Structure 1
Amino acid sequence: MTHQGLLPSVLIGAVASARSMTPMAAIASARLAGAKTPGKLWLLDHPLFKFGALAMGAGELYGDKMKTAPDRTVFLGLLARVMSAGIAGAALAPRNKAHEGATVAIATAVPLAYATLAARKQGIKKIGQTRSGLIEDALIVAAGAAIVTWAVRR
């Protein structure tokens, strides 16, 4: 296996750094559309997971614009990123490489959460919380969808 085999896992970890629920929502959307992920995880086929992931993804996009929203680097924010990146990284990894996929996704998501937070704070200073959040949403949701689409078609 080449390192390129884990590239979708790394990239989905980057998505999780900015929006913890977007990787799971992107995978749930693909699964609802009938796509199969390279990695096999039983929960990806459970209806509660699929619809729950979509609801949580939408809820996060809404909640992020609230002035009381916590930074993504607080303990629970990082925990959500670790869990989401790990599951998504495993799902997008080549067959029998789930542990490696989860590891690289988590190793990408956690440090990048600090970088994406710093970028977001700069955006808030320049254009405000809502506008910077909407721009970040558009970029991250598009990236998540593109990465999952690419991974399931490989």
Structure 2
Amino acid sequence: MKTPALLWSALIGAVASARSMTPMATLSAARLLGRSTPGSLALLDRPLFKFGALAMGAGELAGDKMKTAPDRTVFLGLLARVASAGIAGAALAPRGREPAGAATAIATAVPLAYLTLDARKRAMRHVGQTRSGLVEDLLVVAVGIAVVALAVRHGNGRSR
């Protein structure tokens, strides 16, 4: 069965809707493990970018549990989702389809940010901010890792 061309871009956009830095962190981890992405994106090969993305991903996971953490739908939160989803969506798109992959990921991430925020707020009322955040982290990071791993495998990601 053939995978739809922009499926991985859409799925990484869904990941960005809940955790803006997870797409970049998972892509960076894949690059550090010597895997390449279907789409060509030189930015992912810069060490400062790779390690910076990993640090920002870890920082976001910690910061999300703080009482002062802003909603993901504030302007800067959406801007981070647009940037991260766009870069990740382009990297996971088939070679030559990077702009379409970026657009697909962004078009998925922004509206889903509102839905994932609503789900998180409902979960917070039942189990609290920290517990709901940890569960969301586990789900989002696991999905992010799976999406990147599958995209790299199906896109014939080569070792670098």
Scaled by the length of structure 2, the TM-score of the pair is 0.94
Structure 2 gaps of 5+ residues are: 155-160
CA RMSD of aligned residues (A): 0.9
> Deviations 1:40-77 (Å, cap 9, x if unpaired)?
11110000000000000000000000000000000000
Q: Which residue of 2 aligns with 1:151?
A: 151
Identity value in percent: 73
1-structure distance, mates of 2:77, 2:36: 28
2:58 maps to what in 1?
58
Q: How far apart, CA to CA, are the structure 1 residues paired with 2:41 and 2:30?
A: 14
SS of equivalent residue, structure 2 residue 70? coil
Aligned to 2:121: 121
Deviation (angstroms), 1:84? 0.2
Give 1:83's aligned residue.
83
Confirm whether residue 96 of structure 1 aligns to residue 96 of structure 2. yes
* Cα distance in 2, alignment partners of residues 9 and 42 from structure 1: 17
Give TM-score, length-normalised by structure 1.
Answer: 0.98
How far residue 3 of structure 1 moved from its aligned partner, in angstroms, is 7.5
Give the aligned partner of residue 18 of structure 2: 18
Shift of 1:5: 1.1
Query: Which structure: greater helix fraction?
Result: 1
CA distance in structure 2 between the aligned counterparts of 1:98 and 1:28, rounded to whole angstroms: 17
Tell me the secondary structure at the aligned position of residue 12 of structure 2: helix
Aligned residues: 153
